[in-house]
Amino acid sequence: MRFKFLSLAAAVLLVSACSSTPETATTASTGGTTAAVPTNTTGPVPGSAEDFVVNVGDRVFFGFDRYDLTPEATATLDRQAAWLKQYQNVTITVEGHADERGTREYNLALGERRATAVKNYLVALGVDTARVQTISYGKERPAVLGSNEAAWAQNRRGVTVIN
Amino acid sequence: MRKPSFLTRLRRAVVAALAACALGTGFLALPAQAELSIDITSGKVDPKPIAVTTFYGDSPQAQTIGQNISKVISANLERSGLFRPIDPSRFIQTPEQLRNGTPRYADWRVIDAQGLVVGGVQQLPDGRIRIEFRLFDVLAGQQMTGLAYNVQPDGWRRVAHIISDAIYKRITGEDGYFDTRVVYIAESGPANQRVKRLAIMDQDGENHRFLTDGRVLVLTPRFSPTAQEITYLSYFNNRPRVYLFNIDTGRQEVLGDFPGMTFAPRFSPDGNKVIMSLAQNGNTDIYTLDLRTRRQTQLTNSPAIDTAPSYSPDGSKIVFESDRGGTQQLYTMNADGADVKRITFGHGRYGTPVWSPRGDLIAFTRIADGRFYIGVVRPDGTGERMLTEAFHVEGPTWAPNGRVLMFFKERPTGDGNRQRQAKLFSIDLTGFNERQVVTPTDASDPAWSPLIP
């Protein structure tokens, strides 16, 4: 048993060594809000991630098991594309998310479809494809807690995160 | 070459012991009728009363080991739902009296025991211990089987599982599943910032270890056929990819060089390939990676989501899920991707198919009318049957004998109940004997190992 224990202890050490880079994208994606808040003279710095979230809107929502963009979504993405053209040095990661009412692997694929739908729309509006990365979190990172339609609707989303 | 692992060495010891053992005159002299047996295919069974006596030890250390072995065997048999271990305080004959010769069957009949497990632990001069056991059919008054194992003292727990498997097999006619492990995802923290870690344990929850530290999101671990490696999804560096984890060495490596997210991995039955999905530009297809040549082969080519592939035990077929027909459904195809056939047509959506190690059934998750189900269906699409349902059950995995499944269950989150709760459960193929598998934290994505080689 000693032999086994030592090899497992070594395993934990190796894992720790491999994962020394902390994740940051997930925390950035959960703090945002969709509602445009009235700005005042002490608002976010233009061109900042906060400016993007507050004044443009960082996320779009999808129907159940859907990845097509609604008119509300394209309106948001039109604003995102205009902002991205204004701030050409910014790169983004589009996160695709699903609600909790699907199986894990299907939702990973669905999240990837949603992130790609957002990316393709932004690129079609002239955003350089090299500035846009995508990632799917499936159902792993809900924005809103709760097992009800309102929460699920908020969680079926594509979130544009300023890198 | 690496050194033989603890498990390999133990297996060699067991094989040597098996070759050398022939305990008792009744060994393999089996009565043709009225013997103790259980038909595990018949739905709800009446658990058979069995007396698992304390294994007699010839030293204080051996006595402690003997007591522990009996407890592990008794718990295994009880959990199977097929046996009802009798309270040891009712036993009349003592371990010392049972040590030599045949049991006094009348003493066991009077407490309604049908099976009787007797054993001993003996110190050997070389520091190892010898563990013997015998299983008796009390009503027929005969020994049913008996085995002996020479192992290092800390190998006692595995021997207890191997003995449990021997008892299960002798009485049910089916291979056991007690000498197995479970790898799963240990969960903690709020639902929107869930920390997920790879964890591994024996099937009874003992020898629990975390394999990753939780800083990187990990999902869907699955065992290799030797149970020495795990393939899983890791978000290391925010690049979700399929990885390989060697349990003995702790070594991790990314599998393949794919241009997008890879996920939903499983080993081929021969262990030479990992089959998985690649998601790229909004499309998900199924690929294999040959672990020897590193060659990547694309098996499906549709604009749909094709994922969750699982091989048949002979490696000739693959079951997977696809929404090519409009919603998530199960399909089979040949191992080269040819001859795709849809096999589910029921109400609702079907995902996470897993081929039984026996080859006769495919387990799945079904979603219908807002409820989740675990069910099984024959590979030709007939005989669909639901085993359990809840607000959320998902991700079945088979015990190696194809008679028991494990899955996870989540309860809804709400205002008064903000924490997600996820737990592992096992259930018999008959749909009976659903039990929680106790884990130190919340748990999901279980994968049951093969019998440990």
> Of the candidates B218, B215, B251, which has an alpha carbon nearest to the alpha carbon of residue B232?
B218
Q: Which of B112, B137, B172 is the last residue of a domain?
A: B172
**Cβ pair B398, B353 in contact under 8 A:** no
Min Cα distance A73 → chain B (Å) is 18
Residues B267 and B403 in one domain: yes
* Chain B residue with Cα closest to A28: B193
Residues B66 and B187 in one domain: no
> Of the candidates B261, B238, B194, which has an alpha carbon nearest to the alpha carbon of residue A25?
B238
**Cβ pair B187, B412 in contact under 8 A:** no
Residues B246 and B392 in one domain: yes
Q: Does A140 touch chain B (CB under 8 A)?
A: yes
Question: How many structural domains does chain B have?
Answer: 2
Residues B189 and B124 in one domain: no
Q: Which helix (H) or strand (E) holds B310?
A: strand B306-311
pLDDT score for B418: 62
Pairing outcome for strands B181-188 and B442-448? antiparallel
Pairing outcome for strands B362-368 and B371-377? antiparallel
Residues B167 and B241 in one domain: no
How large is the average pLDDT for residues B179-192? Answer: 94
How large is the average pLDDT for residues B377-386? Answer: 96
Residue B408 belongs to domain with CATH number? 2.120.10.30
How does DSSP classify residue B301?
Answer: -
Q: Does A100 touch chain B (CB under 8 A)?
A: yes
Residue B147 belongs to domain with CATH number? 3.40.50.10070
CB contact under 8 A, B193 and A8: no
Min Cα distance B13 → chain A (Å) is 15
Number of Cβ within 10 Å of residue B239's Cβ equals 13
**Distance (Å, whole) CA B277 – CA B299:** 10
pLDDT digits (tens, 9 = 90+) for B358-374: 999 999 999 999 999 99
Handedness of CA A59, A62, A66, A68 (dihedral sign): negative
Map out the domains of chain A with their CATH numbers.
Answer: 46-162 (3.30.1330.60)
Q: Position of tokens 């800390």?
A: B154
pLDDT score for B45: 78
How large is the average pLDDT for residues A57-81? Answer: 98
Q: Residue B142: which residues within 8 A CB-CB, separation 6 or more?
A: B26, B29, B31, B35, B136
B393: containing domain: 181-448
Q: Is the pLDDT of residue B11 over 50?
A: no
pLDDT score for B419: 74
**Cβ pair B407, B364 in contact under 8 A:** no
Show residues of chain B in contact with A113, CB under 8 Å.
282-284, 305
- Report the residue of B128, B195, B212 to disrupt the A interface, i.e. the one with the largest count of A CBs within 10 Å: B212
pLDDT digits (tens, 9 = 90+) for A14-35: 333 333 333 333 333 443 444 4
Place B190 in a pLDDT band, splitting at 50, 70 and 90.
confident
Is B453 inside any structural domain?
Answer: no
> Of the candidates B119, B117, B120, B163, which has an alpha carbon nearest to the alpha carbon of residue B138?
B117
Radius of gyration of chain A (CA): 19
- Residue B201: left (phi > 0), alpha (psi -120 to 50), or beta? beta
pLDDT score for A43: 85
pLDDT score for A12: 38
Residues B429 and B309 in one domain: yes
* B418 vs B301: which has the higher pLDDT: B301
Q: Position of tokens 């659903």?
A: B434
Partner-chain residue, chosen from B6, B220, B240, that has the shortest CB–CB distance to A104 = B220
Q: Which of B172, B196, B221 is the last residue of a domain?
A: B172
State which amino acid sits at residue B192: N
Partner-chain residue, chosen from B279, B395, B445, that has the shortest CB–CB distance to A112 = B279
Residues B150 and B279 in one domain: no
CB contact under 8 A, B240 and A136: yes
pLDDT digits (tens, 9 = 90+) for B300-351: 999 999 999 999 999 999 999 999 999 999 999 999 999 999 999 989 999 9
Q: Is the pLDDT of residue B155 over 90?
A: yes
pLDDT score for B417: 55
- What CA–CA distances, in Å, run from B209 to B169, B440, B446, B453? 29, 10, 14, 20
pLDDT, mean over chain B = 91
Q: Is the pLDDT of residue B50 over 50?
A: yes
How many pairs of residues across A and B have Cβ atoms under 8 Å apart? Answer: 160
Q: Does A42 touch chain B (CB under 8 A)?
A: no
pLDDT, mean over chain A = 83
pLDDT score for B101: 76
